[in-house]
Amino acid sequence: MKTVYNHYNHAVGLATVNLVWIPCRRRRVFANNEKLKLRCIEIFQSVANEKKWIIKAVEIASDHIHLLVEYDPHHSISQIVKAFKGRSSRYLQQEFPELMKLPSLWTHSYMFDTTEKISTQKVLEYINDPHHG
């Protein structure tokens, strides 16, 4: 499968990050609440559309969120997380009063993993190959 790179002003590339975070106190706020899950997905999609990011995959489990996001080089991973967590927390707590029992919807923590298209070993082999220059 051929990799398609995005073109930006002064940059060409493809950046994808896997994000995971949990609700405050690891509460199972999404258990048995399809309406809440669907609204959360809508909010994530609106953030992505506004920022011109692409959500490749989303999982809303009862006690955590997984997002796989393709983003542009003008945003840091912390900015991406802040955008998704901030807007979803604000809107969901406004629209679902039962979430106001928590001091905050999300914890401050998150996990991220940048996804690789090729292995680090392949890059090292290419850089160290005397024939490529």
Number of residues written out for the chain: 133
In sequence order, the β-bridge partners of residue 12 are 7
Q: What is the pLDDT of residue 2?
A: 67
Q: What is the pLDDT of residue 86?
A: 96
Burial of residue 44 (CB within 10 Å: 0-12, 13-18, 19+) is: buried
69's enclosing H/E stretch is strand 65-71
**Angle, helix 34-51 to helix 77-95, in steps of 10 degrees:** 140
Domain range for 92 is 6-128
Query: Does residue 64 fall inside a structural domain?
Result: yes
In this structure, the dihedral spanned by the alpha carbons of residues 12, 51, 71 and 81, taken in order and rounded to 10 degrees, is 150
Closest CA to 27 of 61, 58, 59: 61
Is the pLDDT score of 85 beyond 90? yes
Query: Does residue 14 fall inside a structural domain?
Result: yes
Query: Does residue 1 fall inside a structural domain?
Result: no
Q: How far is CA 114 from the centre of its chain?
A: 10
Mean pLDDT of 55-84: 92
Residues 87-122 as b/e (b if ≥16 CB within 10 A, e otherwise) read ebbebbbeebeebeeeeebbeeebeeeeeeeeeeee
Query: Does residue 133 fall inside a structural domain?
Result: no
Is residue 89 a contact partner of residue 110, using CB atoms and an 8 Å limit?
no
Q: What is the pLDDT of residue 4?
A: 76
Count of the separate structural domains present in the chain: 1
Is the pLDDT score of 133 beyond 50? no
Residue pLDDT, tens place only, 9-41: 888 888 888 899 999 988 999 999 999 999 999
- Name the DSSP letter for residue 48: H
Average pLDDT, the chain: 87
Residue 106: CATH number of its domain: 3.30.70.1290
- Place 55 in a pLDDT band, splitting at 50, 70 and 90: very high
